[in-house]
């Protein structure tokens, strides 16, 4: 017999070590604080006063049911409660994941606010809500204290705006930056409720409100969201905790969207500042322009400038690319063209030749297209030249046709640029349309179909509308872009310049 066998045979009996004692089972990776459900030794009597884990006998139990072995303990109820709590927490995290994934897909502040209100209504069990930001936004989108509603009509939002500011559900959040939530479980029972608020609540049919701040993690406050309940109610701690997690993430997303809006607004202001603020007024000609800038800022530009001896210069062009670089390049290009047009505007080919030389020396690798026309309104004669640009279109009572300008390369593409000039004689009452590629691209059609579409749009202008270049430009845009693709958030820049000669 070996030494180990001898030790195992003659070793004295003792209690097992604590390290080798059986452990309670784990649930979802957490050590259970509950006692083990292992059966106790029948020889050890229970301590007096210790609560038993055996459930009491049920009323109406079957009398012949077999009795359980003596000393058996059942602790399944506390374990079930723990599993239920963990399952509920996992369900909340899954809901947060789904709602957050829907939120990050929104690309505008207004869409994000609507998604936040929808998600909060789902988490808190509300049917209606509204959100208010303290930040400025694009014109017509949102502004300080301008509400965005969920389940509320425009008229109902207007009625809520008539409630005194100090009595609105989000009022404490706007005055005390340390508060993050305000619960008003029963508005009808509030003695200090203003009569106007009580009247609006009765008319709209809500009796409770819950407001939460929209705070990103940088500590700033963007605004607040409010949810309205049809009856007296207050969200429970679990619902409020889940909503707080979601609104924290939503605040970060809103902060990013607001910063993008501010950057776009600054770029749009810069882009508009590099274009004429108003068109010149000259006898014998009337002008109108429609210009749209893409969200990234593009290189399409236009100009109309008085020249010596009562002449007029008209120009449109486009710089390749988008963003601040393209906006700055188009500003420099337009400024240079103005200088060359004043010096030698009667020769459009010379103007574009000087512009090409400047572009090649100062803006290498920045191709651009341009079209310049010199005209004397009284004589109704245009002399023009184009550098890789689209030809203008003449609209009159007896014709709607493109002007033949000849084939030419864009500026900055060749070592020595040359292009033929063209001359157009106009009849009284005819309108010349100058435009950029963005007008064609916004239609979504191939180039040949887009050209045909533009021709039909111009020829289809009613005769009663052709006396005003403003109505001509509007009709052409409406016929070209019936789906609203001429909006300011379109993908491409677009210019349409109309000049009507009397």
- Spell out the domain ranges in the chain: 83-267, 274-501
Q: Give mean pLDDT, residues 416-432.
A: 86
pLDDT in tens, 63-91: 444 444 444 444 556 788 887 778 777 87
Q: b/e map of 206-238 (b: 16 or more CB within 10 Å)?
A: bbbbbbbbbbbeeeebbbbbbbbbeeebebeee
The second-level CATH assignment, the architecture, of 274-501 is: 4-Layer Sandwich (3.60)
Looking at residue 421, its pLDDT comes to 85
Task: Report how far residue 363's alpha carbon sits from residue 84's, in angstroms, rounded to the nearest whole number.
Answer: 68
- Checking if the pLDDT of 455 tops 90, the result is yes
pTM of the model: 0.64
Question: 323 to each of 140, 270, 366, 437, 484, how far by Cα in Å?
Answer: 24, 11, 13, 17, 23
Starting from the edge strand earliest in sequence, which strands make up the sheet with 128-133, in order? Answer: 147-150, 128-133, 223-229, 208-214, 181-184
Contact present, 50 and 68 (Cβ < 8 Å): no
Task: Report how far residue 354's alpha carbon sits from residue 332's, in angstroms, rounded to the nearest whole number.
Answer: 14
The three-state secondary structure class of 133 is: strand
In this chain, the answer to whether the domains covering 83-267 and 274-501 adopt an identical fold is no
Task: Report how far residue 333's alpha carbon sits from residue 343's, in angstroms, rounded to the nearest whole number.
Answer: 16
Q: b/e map of 366-390 (b: 16 or more CB within 10 Å)?
A: bbbbbbbbbbbbeebebbbbbbbbb
The angle that helices 76-104 and 109-124 make with each other, rounded to 10 degrees, is: 160
β-sheet bridge partners, residue 383: 374, 423
Output the six-digit token pair for 430: 């005819």
Looking at residue 476, its pLDDT comes to 94
Q: Which residue has the tokens 């909340």?
A: 92
Task: Report how far residue 346's alpha carbon sits from residue 24's, in angstroms, rounded to the nearest whole number.
Answer: 96
pLDDT in tens, 147-203: 899 999 999 999 999 999 899 988 899 888 889 999 999 998 999 999 999 999 999
Output the six-digit token pair for 285: 């000609």
- The total number of residues written for the chain in this structure: 502
Q: Looking at 92-106, 221-235, 279-293, 402-416, which range is the least confident one?
A: 402-416
Task: Report how far residue 211's alpha carbon sits from residue 482's, in angstroms, rounded to the nearest whole number.
Answer: 42
Contact present, 106 and 119 (Cβ < 8 Å): no
pLDDT band at 213 (very low <50, low <70, confident <90, very high): very high
Task: Report how far residue 295's alpha carbon sits from residue 320's, in angstroms, rounded to the nearest whole number.
Answer: 15
- Checking if the pLDDT of 477 tops 70, the result is yes
Q: b/e map of 431-457 (b: 16 or more CB within 10 Å)?
A: bbbbbbbbbbbbbeeeeeebbebbeeb
Nearest C-alpha neighbor of 271 from the set 323, 333, 337: 323
Q: Specify whether the backbone of 78 is left (phi greater than 0), alpha (psi in -120 to 50) or beta.
A: alpha
pLDDT band at 116 (very low <50, low <70, confident <90, very high): very high
- Farthest CA pair distance, the chain: 129
Task: Report how far residue 113's alpha carbon sits from residue 258's, in angstroms, rounded to the nearest whole number.
Answer: 12
Looking at residue 415, its pLDDT comes to 65
Q: b/e map of 265-275 (b: 16 or more CB within 10 Å)?
A: eebbeebeebb
pLDDT in tens, 300-356: 999 999 999 889 999 999 998 878 888 888 889 999 999 999 998 789 999 998 998
Looking at residue 279, its pLDDT comes to 94
Other Cβ atoms closer than 10 A to 350: 16
Looking at residue 388, its pLDDT comes to 87
Nearest C-alpha neighbor of 370 from the set 497, 471, 267, 284: 497
**83-267 falls under which CATH superfamily?**
GAF domain (3.30.450.40)
Average pLDDT taken over every residue of the chain: 81
Task: Report how far residue 67's alpha carbon sits from residue 197's, in angstroms, rounded to the nearest whole number.
Answer: 65
Looking at residue 490, its pLDDT comes to 58
């Amino acid at each position: 017999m070996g030494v180990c066998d001898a030790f195992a045979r003659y070793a004295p009996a003792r209690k097992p070590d604590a390290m080798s004692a059986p452990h309670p089972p784990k649930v979802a990776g957490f050590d259970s604080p509950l006692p083990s459900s292992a059966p106790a030794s029948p020889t050890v009597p229970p301590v007096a006063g210790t609560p038993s884990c055996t459930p009491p006998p049920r009323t109406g139990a079957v009398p012949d049911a077999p009795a359980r072995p003596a000393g058996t303990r059942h602790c399944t109820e506390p374990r079930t409660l723990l599993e239920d709590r963990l399952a509920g927490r996992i369900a909340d995290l899954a809901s947060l994941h789904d709602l957050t994934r829907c939120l990050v897909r929104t690309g505008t502040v207004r869409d994000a606010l609507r998604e936040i209100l929808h998600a909060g209504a789902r988490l808190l069990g509300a049917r209606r809500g509204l959100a208010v930001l303290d930040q400025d936004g694009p014109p017509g989108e949102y502004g300080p204290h301008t509400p965005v509603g969920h389940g509320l009509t425009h008229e109902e939002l207007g009625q809520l705006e008539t409630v005194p500011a100090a009595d609105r559900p989000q009022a404490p959040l706007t005055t005390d930056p340390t508060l993050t939530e305000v619960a008003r479980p029963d508005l009808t029972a509030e003695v200090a409720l203003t009569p106007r608020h009580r009247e609006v609540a009765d008319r709209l049919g809500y009796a409770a409100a819950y407001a939460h701040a929209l705070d990103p993690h940088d500590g700033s406050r963007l605004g607040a969201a409010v949810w309205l309940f049809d009856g007296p109610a207050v969200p429970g701690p679990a619902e409020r905790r889940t909503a707080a997690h979601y609104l924290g993430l939503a605040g970060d997303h809103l902060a990013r969207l607001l910063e993008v809006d501010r950057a776009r607004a600054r770029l749009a202001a810069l882009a508009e500042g590099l274009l004429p603020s108003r068109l010149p007024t000259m006898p014998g000609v009337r002008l109108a322009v429609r210009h749209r800038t893409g969200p990234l800022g593009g290189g399409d530009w236009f100009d109309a400038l008085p020249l010596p001896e009562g002449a007029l210069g008209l120009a449109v062009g486009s710089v390749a690319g988008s963003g601040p670089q393209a906006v700055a390049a188009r500003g420099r290009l337009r400024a240079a063209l103005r200088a060359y047009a004043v010096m030698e505007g009667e020769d459009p080919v010379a103007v574009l030749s000087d512009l090409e030389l400047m572009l090649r020396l100062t803006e290498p690798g920045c191709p651009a297209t341009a079209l310049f026309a010199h005209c004397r309104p009284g004589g109704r004669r245009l002399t023009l030249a184009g550098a890789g640009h689209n030809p203008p279109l003449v609209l009159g009572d007896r014709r709607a046709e493109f002007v033949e300008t000849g084939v030419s390369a864009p500026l900055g593409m060749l070592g020595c640029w040359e292009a033929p000039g063209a001359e157009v004689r106009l009849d009284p009452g005819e309108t010349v349309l100058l435009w950029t590629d963005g007008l064609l691209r916004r239609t979504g059609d191939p180039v040949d179909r887009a050209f045909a579409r533009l021709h039909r749009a111009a020829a289809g202008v009613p005769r009663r509308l052709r006396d005003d270049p403003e109505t001509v430009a509007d009709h052409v845009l409406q016929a070209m872009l019936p789906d609203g693709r001429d909006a300011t958030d379109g993908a491409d820049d677009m210019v349409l310049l109309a000049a009507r000669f009397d």
